[in-house]
Structure 1
Amino acid sequence: MPNILFKCLFALTFLRPSPSVAEDKRFTVKIIIPAGVNEKNIVIWYDDGKDERIYVSPHFVNHEMTMSGSYISRYATVTITRKEDEKFSGGTYWVNQSPALINFYRAPKSPRLVNAIDVKKTVGDKLQSFIANVEKERDDYWNTHSTAIMDLNSRERKIFFDKRKAVEDKKIQFLLNNKSQYFSFWLFRTDMVYMAGGGPYGYPRITGAQLRELFYSTFPDSLTNSAEGATTLATIATFEVQKNTMAPDFTTTDIYQHPIALRDYRNKYVLLNFWASWCVPCVAELPAIKKIRDTYNTDQLEIIGSTVHDDSTAFLNAVAKYKITWTKIFNDKALQKAYVKSGVPLLLLIDKSGKIIYDREEELPTGIDSLPLLQRLLKERLKG
């Protein structure tokens, strides 16, 4: 599909109807696994339509377990996978309020389903078949030219970007070809919306504004105004948090239960860092952040570190190990949803007016751990 697709997507977005608020629905599903499968090697989670991945501890009695939960989307999406090569395939399934069964016992590779839909057969196989050729071209080119592609100024890197973009364009064409189908809406929410995040340095990603216009121009009001549509729009809004935009305000508490509100720091600069101790690049840049903290006093610059840890012990151990003295927030999901696009580290500098003036993504991959662009900008702005 030609890149012309997005030429008119910068049109003004007019006032839209407010999304509806849906009450939570309940699902129940019985899962039966083959004999001999070790439940410790099974991972189960479900998506409730709020972009929450909710993990369920496997506990099988006579190869069976029943799980239940709430959801706001048309279906709850239940995923069963394995840590090791067990004797069954796992998979992803849609279930609703009708009691469901996913039975691998006599069919490890193709379970018997009752009131459950195999998402791979409904969506995955169709999409994979549609994009297979361009995806193979991209992967073959990477395998042949990976070393040259890593050169930021190489011709091969530009060609690889074009091939990567061709895969994304093909996915969008699949969406448009099937826009009347719910699975296209689900695919957009759970997969394609993230095309705006991540990617190699310098890659011309689709923007949040382009995604928003594609969302409204493709899907009917019954979906865009649904609770599931509201989830999608909230995700898109996160991708619109970038340099030269106003930082979303937030109110939270630090680990000592002291209140924190971004608006309270309008008389100084704020360095906002989302990180985790298990994240190698997050840890690698901590010395540079510590150097910044030692250089500028708190009257000039506030540093706020927000961890994405779920384990409070691991978080506190990391705080002690890396001597993190600046403001610390633990696992605030609402704050993460407002800012974190596609993973950590995320590092933003916010000026006195509340505008984002630096994003870590600007840094060149070489020497990024020392954050040279940030160091230079702070020196210019704060005269440190």
Structure 2
Amino acid sequence: MMLKGMVAGLVFVAAVGHAQAQDGPVKIGVLTDMSSSLSDTQGMGSVEGARLAIEDFGGTVLGRKIELVHADHQNKADIGATIARRWFDTEDVRLIVDLGNSSVGLATQGIAKDKDRITIATGAATSELTGKACSPNSFHWGYDSYQFSGAAPAQMVKAGLDTWFFVTADYAFGYALENDTRKVVEAAGGKVVGSVRHPINTQDFSSFLLQAQGSGAKVIAIASAVGDLQNALKQGQEFAIFGKKQVPSAMALLLVDVKSVGLQATQGTSISTVFYWDQDDATREFAKRFRARMQRPPSEAQAMNYSGVMHYLKAVKAAGTTETQAVLKKMKETPVDDLMTKQAKIRADGRLMRDVRLAKVKSPAESKADWDFFEIGATVPGEQAFRPAADSACPLLAK
């Protein structure tokens, strides 16, 4: 009798816990860099992007409040993984967005699959998230290293800048960006003469830049992001390494990088971008609302958080439940359509096949106001901007 009573008690507790989970808030987590080299383009701005999506959706879904939580992964995969497990196991977080650092993104994506939860990478950029590390529970929403590598390198090689040296961040994103760009350079007829790796949050790039200078390469490619990229570009200018004989290539140049380094040093740089605040009337209106809270326009990753969270909430409403598999089905079968994304489809590997825009950094004379940095050019369809399915190592894609 005692054993039966204990079993009944456990069943009752489990039933109550399940009922509370069904009636409690729908929790979304923003796991991002709040204090390190990526915080300028992610950080609290990423939280604000997600919060604006929740507000625009109405603050509730299925009659339940939508609750937003956030945490700093400090650019460390073990810290990010620990937070993700806690959120999934004990705090009933259904979705994690941003992920920021690519190593954190890869680790969290694996945990989400094991726990049957969902992740949307909006800040993490390694193309391996939808390559050999792809997951049926995860999505890659914005930029990636493959897209970054294709904007300018082939054109530069064809213009005679045919020898390259890489100064590469020593973590997953850096490796992916160098590898993807190397393939583009070599396919265009160029040659990579060497590379060197630097740790994250490097303050002194002198030894790395001097090695690049000593190689004699016509292009010094900085395969890094945000804070590290900015430091490398600034110091290359200060040490007079960059010039007519050796030019920099900043494949992953973002809006905040131009703000930090300045138009004088970055003018004329060709890039591709998944979002620019001054792109059209809809993005300008969104940027106006964001700027009122953050005193600056949204970065690419911050805007992608808005888009990803909005699509998730639409899928929850359509599915009539927060159960992962039902929500995933709705997310994958429904085109993404919002103020910055128009009828974009999600591929089986989780890659959102959004259009991207080619852009060129303006000169100081061309810029008419603060944050007026990009001259927007042609639209590149997602099928051309991101890695073709036939070239992917993702097992979810039929060969």
Q: TM-score, normalised by structure 1?
A: 0.28
Q: TM-score, normalised by structure 2?
A: 0.28
Q: Which has the larger radius of gyration?
A: 1
Higher helix fraction (1 or 2): 2
